Structures are given as C-alpha cells and as structure tokens.
Structure 1
Amino acid sequence: MRTIITGGTVVNATGRAHADVVVDGEVITAVTAPGLITEADRTIDATGKYVIPGGIDAHTHMEMPFGGTFSHDTFATGTEAAAWGGTTTIIDFAVQARGTSLLATLDKWHAKADGDCAVDYGFHMIISEVDDGSLKEMRPCIDAGVNSFKMFMAYPGVFYSTDGDILRAMRRATETGSMIMMHAENGIAIDQLVAQALAEGRTAPVEHGLTRPPELEGEATSRAIALAGVTGAPLYIVHLSARHALEAVAAARNTGQNVFAETCPQYLYLSIEDMAKPGFEGAKYVASPPLRTRDHQADLWRGLRTNDLSVVSTDHCPFCFEDQKVLGRDDFSKIPNGMPGVEHRMDLLHQGVVAGEITLERWVEISSTTPARMFGLAGRKGTISPGADADVVVYDPAATQTISALTHHMNVDYSAYEGMEITGRVDVVLSRGSVVIADGAFHGKPGHGRFLKRDLSQYLL
C-alpha cells in the first residue's frame, strides 16, 4: 500500500523543507518535491503542519515492580498512550530481581510485552546484582539485542551497586562495546537524611525532595564519571535533574570523555513547589531524582541547546494517586516513585520551540534522532528519509490543547500537568506505515508493535 503525505514541512534534525513523503508498505521510499508523485492508495494532507519522525522515548517503566506494587500502565495501555502523543518507539527496562539471571529477566519482560504493544519497543537491562554470572550474561544480552545496562547508586538493599560493582560492570561494558546507564544519586547519604527526617516527624511528600538534595546528585554523577574514566566505559546519565550534575557532565564532555545525559519534561516544567502542595497532593510529584527549585530549569534548557543534555525521555512510571501513592501517606519514603508522562513528551518539548528555547530541528533531534543513534536504531528510526521505517507524525503547530487526566490515555488517575494550556498537537501518527492515530481516534491494535533488536550505539563506534 502506498501512502503520500503531502503539503507539509518535513523536519529532520539536519533541517527542514517543504516536501512530500512517500511510504510504501512499512518503509519510507521517497522524500520529494511537492506534487512530484501523486499516485497513491492513501493521501494525507499535511498543509500547514510539520512532518516529523516518530518520537523515541528511551526511558519508560511499564508494569514495573516498585515498593510492593506495579506501575499502572501495561505495555498495551502505555504504548497506546505513547502513540497518542506521537511516540512510535519506547525502550523499557527489564528489571533483574536479586538472585535471578539477566537472561531469565529478559524472558520475563518479553512475556509481558510480546503481543501487547501498539508501537515498536526495545529493552534496556537493569543490573541489580553484580556477580560473575551477570557479568558473563551481558554478552548474550547484547546478542539478543539488549546492549544497554542500567545501574543504581541509589536505593540500598534494592538496586544499589557499590563503586566496586560499578567498576566491574564498566570494565565488562568496555570489553563488549555496550553502554552503562546510571541512576546517579548518593543513596547511602540519602538514606541517612531520610532516617533523620522521619525521626524528627517530617513525613510530608516535600521531604522526598529535601532529603535528596541536588548536591548528592552532583556528587554521584561526578563519581560515576570518574569510574567511567578509569575503565574507559561510555556512560549515559539517566533523568538528570540538577545543575550540579549537568556541570559534571559538561566538564567531562569538554575533555572528550564519552559521557552523555538525558533529562525529562518534569524537570523542565515542574518544581519542588509541586511536592509542597497542601495535604497529600504533593505525592503525585514524587519521583527520583526529585523535582528541583525552578532556578535549575534555565540550566537544563541551556544544556539541551549545547548538547550537554543529548536526549529527553520521560521516565514514565505511573502510579495511581488514590490506591498507590497513598501507601506513603504517613511516611514519604513509602510513596511509590514515579510520574506519568509518555503521552505528553513531544507536546511539552514543542513548548520549548514556541518559547524560543530550542529550534524545530533540535526538538526532533532530542526527541527522536539522537535516541535512535544512541541506542542502536539509527537508519531505522528517528529520521524522515528513504529506507527508514515509516514512523511518521503529522504535527499541527497551530492547534491548542489543555492537558488533563480527563482526556489523557495513560492508565493513571492524575496528570502531573493538569490544566496546562499548550500550543501544538499530534494530528496523524503512522507506525511502520500503519495509521495508528487519525481524526482524533486510535486506529492501532495491541500486537502491532515489534521488538527491536538493537545494534551497538552509533556514538561508540
């Protein structure tokens, strides 16, 4: 089946042009001068709109276990919500439980996702236990298309790895050409601050932010960078929230070290003031790292412009307010960590274009093109060009909308951006040539999405 998307402005990371996009089956076959090719089975009018590559959210947590509960979006509901927001690929995390193998973990996550996803998907691997077995299994994980491994300097007793563990895993990453991803917060110090707060009767949600100060994110980021420098391993800092951490990343990059970082929309738009809302309302905004004071936001936008922040992902980890966040009503340390966001990433980043923080091209780059290159999907995803998968979004920059839990499609009972009025809206979404969003309706289906066996990162070759 041939589809022509006509009349729009095609925007890639490298530039923009008025052009038509021709799709045959699942692949883009041509980007041509307007009107050059007219014969098609289906024509999509994109006049006055942008034609951009489908978004890649490289950090999601569907059905993730945390604190005795699970994030509320399944792979079916979460990927449908992603499609509504113009994201056509997610990369989720397979979470190793202590005492289990990496390969058994990967099998478990395949069982959760296979046949349920509305858009394409891949996996990163969380290493919770560093031993000879897990280090050995990194190679077969890579062979299976999972070549990025997340570790934690936070959550002692659950995910935490010592500096020695991290050093061992980084050496293995250097040997195999794979990527270490790091949750960089000083968990040992944070646990002491949490214990002190609780002992003093400080139990409100805002204490989550006060006991995880930005200095401890900066310290852990610097330490992770130092360990990566010793081993020669590439390093990707996930969900960077604070200028302290950004300064460490920028300094390392200025010396030529292979260090990369992502941030998330919540750190660009929300603040610790949200966690301080009256009553228990602030629990909706509890995530790790926590929201910071608003003065950090300008630094993060600057980091996106200078490429010291290379990617924007969501860390989508939705826990319902009414029956999950309430687990920590009398103890902030028991509030499940995470916020919903997979549906609104592209829209929220577009507000950066509207405000002049980033260009159109940079919008596409940080939301789609760089994630593709970073995580082994270059050529297939993240570009409107011949030979690429036909993951295409027609985006209306003039439309307006108000974000609300009443209208979003994520399987969670609140929105972190409730009532926020924004400019721009997804109009049509194609996933590998199939229309999944059009005319204000979902036309996809669970099982359309395919597992993506990823190559090694383009940035490490």
Structure 2
Amino acid sequence: MQSVLIVNGTLISDESIKQEDILIVDGRIISTGRNLPGLPLETNIIEASGKYIIPGGIDPHVHFALPTPAGPSCDDFRSGSLAAMAGGTTFIMDFVTPAPGQDLIEALAIRRQEAESSLIPYKLHAGITWYDDSIPAQMQRCVEEEGIASFKAYLAYKGSIGIEYHELEKVMHAAAALNAIVLVHCEEGDIILKKQQEFVAAGKTSPLYHALSRPPEAEASAVKKVIDLCRKTGCRTYIVHTSAAESLQYIREAKAEGLPLYCETCPQYLLLDESVYREPLPGSLKYVISPPIRGREDREALWLALRDGTVDVVATDHCPFNTFGQKDRGADNFTLIPNGAGGVEHRLELLYTYGVLSKRISLQQFVKLTSANAAKIFGLFPEKGSLLPGSVADLVLLDPDYTSVISANNGMQQCDSDIYEGMPISGKFTVVKTPSL
C-alpha cells in the first residue's frame, strides 16, 4: 500500500471550494477533510499551503501526429502528452481518421499503435470520414467490441474527409441507437470551397483570405442545420471549436429547448482576434486554423457563453505545424497551408490568467470547463474530473503566485512557433505524482 497526503491546500471541484486535506492510497482518492484519521504507515506528505488542488485537466480535442500532405503535426503522442502534463492536463482524447473507404476497426488498430507512446491515459474518437451502408455496423463494432462511444464528422474539407448532411443524419441515427455521441465540425464546406476558388483565381492568396473564405455565417449555418438533426434524431451532439456569436445563440436556444447538445470552444477564439491575419508573412501563417480566429464581438460573446453555461468545454484542437517547412508551403496559396495550432500546454494557464484572474469566470467554472464537464459528457466521471473519494487521483497543484511569459523557445510543444508568443501568464500547474494503480 502506497499513500500520499496533500495538506493545507484548497480543494476546487465543480461543486465546492474547501480548505481540506486529501488522502490518496494506491492511486485513488480515499478521503478528504481535516485531521484525517487512520493514515497508513509511511504516508508521503505534500505541503500545499497557498495552492489550489484541482482535478487533472481533460482535453477532449487534440490531434497528435495527424498525417497531412505537409507532413504530420509536430507533436506525436509522446511529446504531446509531455506538453499536456506540463500544462496540468492528465487525460486527452484524440482521433482516428480513416482514409476514404478504410474500415474503422482497421484504422483504430493502427491509431492505437501510434498512441502507445502516450505518457498519460487517453481515449479515441472514431472519425466518420466517408459513408456507405456499412458504416452503421462498423460503428456498432466500435461501441460493442472496442469501447469507442464517440464519433467525429466533418462538414468542411469537401473532397477529402468531409461528409454530406444526409450522411451525417444517418450517422446520428446510428449513434443514437448505440447511445453514442457525435462530434461535429460545423462549417459549410460548399460555401468555403467556392470562396477559396474565387479568391485564388483573383490572386488573393495570403492567410487573410483563409479567414475571409470561412466567414462566421458559414459556421452558424452549419450549426443550425446540425441542431435540426440533433432534434430529429435525438442523438447526443457535441459542436467542436465553436467560434461565432451567431452559432452560440443557436446553441443557447437549443439547450433551453432541452436538446442533448454540448458546445466546445478553444483558447484561441477567446484570446486572439482576426487582426492576426494582417501580420506580414511568415508571421501570419501560424494562425491558419479552422474555423479561423474571429472578431472581437465574437470573442466577447464566447466569454459570455462560458459564464452562462452555453459553452461546456474549453479544449484546444491542438494540431501544430512548423512555420518553416510546413505552413510556408502555402505562403503563396492559403489553401495549401496545413490548418492547426498548438495549445495543449497552455490551456489551463491561459484560462486561469485571462478568465479567473480577470473575473470573467469563477474557479469552479474553470474546473467545469477544463475537466469536470468533459468527464461527464464522455463517460469518464467520477473516475476522472472529480475530487470525490473513489476517484482516480489525477490531481494538479495550482500555484497562483507563479508568473511567466509564453514562448516557443521554452515550452514542451514541438513547434517552431506559438500563437500565444509573448503572452504573460499567471499560475503554474503541477501534476501530483502518485503511485499508479
């Protein structure tokens, strides 16, 4: 029996804030309180005066070693998990992205091999990147034989991994019958493709036109249609990386209606604005992500949505590519720039600094957005995302007095640039080392 006692800290969960000690035995929380009785012999004491104790972060949206024509995203499962731990995240969810026509189970087996190097626990969402009548049976096998109960569909990226609305409806019907959840990338792929072709034909090829080819209404229109499908199918539906104010209003109304709908956003949409696309090359290349970074009104609408519960989860969509050698292949044609940026290392510190310390959200909302809500949505709670007795002791100490400045030169993420370069942050998140089960 191996035990750890964390003393004199402040426990922050999604339900309460308490000045209590916490006892961990063999990797599980046994009890919380003051002057806990019956401590095992040789208990390791961790002093946490002045620190917060929170559940380990859960990031349900990362893309480690994502294959693209420009090469894989910079972080594989080993470096990505190291970066996650450095930022207080102890559990990630990545994706299986089958090639067109590839069997889901075959793609899942390959992806699991790639994920073996992860230093933290993980789960995978199965991407539905193509559709025929065999897909529902493949989804059933994922759920019943492989323990995969979440599926991802893309409405953008027509011609590669995007699917059509009538196909998505069939996926959602199948998922509903399996009590699975469907994650959806909501952007109107046809609108985007048309605008891309028009801009390139007119010689408008800089990163600015990446943003202009994917306007907020392209997202909002897709969100509205997906909500209609959620209502029609009864499928639990999770809108990823929401960025537009109009989208949020549709989601807010759908939640008030009682639909089984969840909403995710990311730090880049909370903290940056569309002016980044007007930076000169090559600096603007690193901000090419989808959906693109929006205007200030959208940003403020997102903060309001965090406070009122419209947004359930702040994830990262972590998918960085090097500026030199990857992103710059599209310096003369924005459609060739691999989409994505890093963030798994910075998520908690950014949301704490610019959310909690700026009085935009409370500490309890912080825990909900970074851990507890994702655990509940994806069937991990109370095993994860909790400080309850019996939960796995994935705990993080938050030192509120620590300050630093984000830089690609001193981080764990494996990329030559960082979209948060130069941003001051407060708070250091240290994963508590406890004996594993």
Taking structure 2 as the reference length, what is the TM-score of the superposition?
0.97
The equivalent position to 1:389 in structure 2, one of 368, 389, 392, is: 392
What does residue 422 of structure 1 align with? 425
Is structure 2 residue 63 aligned with structure 1 residue 61? yes
Give the AA of the match of 1:300: L
The equivalent position to 1:244 in structure 2, one of 220, 226, 246, is: 246
What does residue 455 of structure 1 align with? none
What does residue 196 of structure 1 align with? 198
What does residue 165 of structure 2 align with? 163
- Shift in Å at residue 66 of structure 1? 2.4
> What secondary structure does 1:4 align onto?
strand
Deviation readout 1:374-418 (Å, 9 max, x if unpaired): 001012100112111110000011211111111110111111111
Against the structure 1 CA distance between its residues 206 and 410, is the aligned structure 2 distance closer, same or farther, given a 3 Å change threshold?
A: same
- Shift in Å at residue 68 of structure 1? 4.2
Is structure 2 residue 296 aligned with structure 1 residue 294? yes
Query: Equivalences for 1:404-443 in 2 at 5 Å?
Result: 404-426=407-429, 428-430=430-432, 433-434=434-435
> What secondary structure does 2:65 align onto?
coil
> What secondary structure does 1:292 align onto?
coil
**Does the Cα contact within 8 Å between 1:401 and 1:422 map onto a contact in 2?**
yes
Against the structure 1 CA distance between its residues 22 and 269, is the aligned structure 2 distance closer, same or farther, given a 3 Å change threshold?
A: same
- Shift in Å at residue 279 of structure 1? 2.1
What does residue 31 of structure 1 align with? 32
- Shift in Å at residue 78 of structure 1? 0.2
- Shift in Å at residue 373 of structure 1? 0.5
What does residue 331 of structure 2 align with? 329
Deviation readout 1:132-152 (Å, 9 max, x if unpaired): 222211112112221110101
User: Within 2, Cα distance between the matches of 1:198 and 1:34?
Assistant: 68
Query: Equivalences for 1:1-40 in 2 at 5 Å?
Result: 1-34=2-35, 40=42
User: Within 2, Cα distance between the matches of 1:244 and 1:295?
Assistant: 10
User: Within 1, Cα distance between the matches of 2:335 and 2:58?
Assistant: 31
**Does the Cα contact within 8 Å between 1:128 and 1:151 map onto a contact in 2?**
yes
The equivalent position to 2:208 in structure 1, one of 191, 197, 206, is: 206
Greater Cα offset, 276-285 or 314-323 = 276-285
User: Within 2, Cα distance between the matches of 1:36 and 1:303?
Assistant: 43
Deviation readout 1:129-180 (Å, 9 max, x if unpaired): 1112222111121122211101011010111111110111111011111011
- Shift in Å at residue 36 of structure 1? 5.2
Greater Cα offset, 97-106 or 132-141 = 132-141
**Does the Cα contact within 8 Å between 1:261 and 1:308 map onto a contact in 2?**
yes
What does residue 138 of structure 1 align with? 139
Deviation readout 1:260-288 (Å, 9 max, x if unpaired): 11000000001111122112211101100
- Shift in Å at residue 117 of structure 1? 1.1
User: Within 1, Cα distance between the matches of 2:362 and 2:104?
Assistant: 40
User: Within 2, Cα distance between the matches of 1:248 and 1:52?
Assistant: 32
What does residue 373 of structure 1 align with? 376
**Does the Cα contact within 8 Å between 1:7 and 1:34 map onto a contact in 2?**
no
What does residue 309 of structure 1 align with? 311
**Does the Cα contact within 8 Å between 1:204 and 1:280 map onto a contact in 2?**
no
User: Within 1, Cα distance between the matches of 2:392 and 2:279?
Assistant: 44
User: Within 2, Cα distance between the matches of 1:130 and 1:68?
Assistant: 26
Count of aligned residue pairs for this structure pair:
433
User: Within 1, Cα distance between the matches of 2:74 and 2:120?
Assistant: 18
What does residue 344 of structure 2 align with? 342
User: Within 2, Cα distance between the matches of 1:140 and 1:22?
Assistant: 40
**Does the Cα contact within 8 Å between 2:282 and 2:323 map onto a contact in 1?**
no
Identity of aligned residues (%): 36
The equivalent position to 1:70 in structure 2, one of 69, 72, 76, is: 72
User: Within 2, Cα distance between the matches of 1:278 and 1:207?
Assistant: 13
Unmatched tracts of structure 1, length 5 or more: 435-447, 451-461
Unmatched tracts of structure 2, length 5 or more: none
What does residue 362 of structure 2 align with? 359
What does residue 283 of structure 2 align with? 281
User: Within 2, Cα distance between the matches of 1:8 and 1:36?
Assistant: 18
What does residue 440 of structure 1 align with? none
**Does the Cα contact within 8 Å between 2:322 and 2:417 map onto a contact in 1?**
yes
What does residue 152 of structure 1 align with? 154
User: Within 2, Cα distance between the matches of 1:80 and 1:146?
Assistant: 24
- Shift in Å at residue 34 of structure 1? 4.9
User: Within 2, Cα distance between the matches of 1:71 and 1:350?
Assistant: 27
**Does the Cα contact within 8 Å between 2:10 and 2:18 map onto a contact in 1?**
yes
The equivalent position to 1:402 in structure 2, one of 401, 405, 419, is: 405
Query: Equivalences for 1:29-108 in 2 at 5 Å?
Result: 29-34=30-35, 40-108=42-110
- Shift in Å at residue 257 of structure 1? 1.1
User: Within 1, Cα distance between the matches of 2:30 and 2:410?
Assistant: 35
User: Within 2, Cα distance between the matches of 1:173 and 1:109?
Assistant: 21
- Shift in Å at residue 40 of structure 1? 4.2
What does residue 264 of structure 2 align with? 262
What does residue 122 of structure 1 align with? 123
- Shift in Å at residue 37 of structure 1? 6.3
User: Within 1, Cα distance between the matches of 2:369 and 2:417?
Assistant: 26
- Shift in Å at residue 33 of structure 1? 1.2
Give the AA of the match of 1:383: S
What does residue 443 of structure 1 align with? none
Q: Which 4+ runs in 1 deviate beyond 3 A?
A: 34-41
**Does the Cα contact within 8 Å between 1:101 and 1:133 map onto a contact in 2?**
no
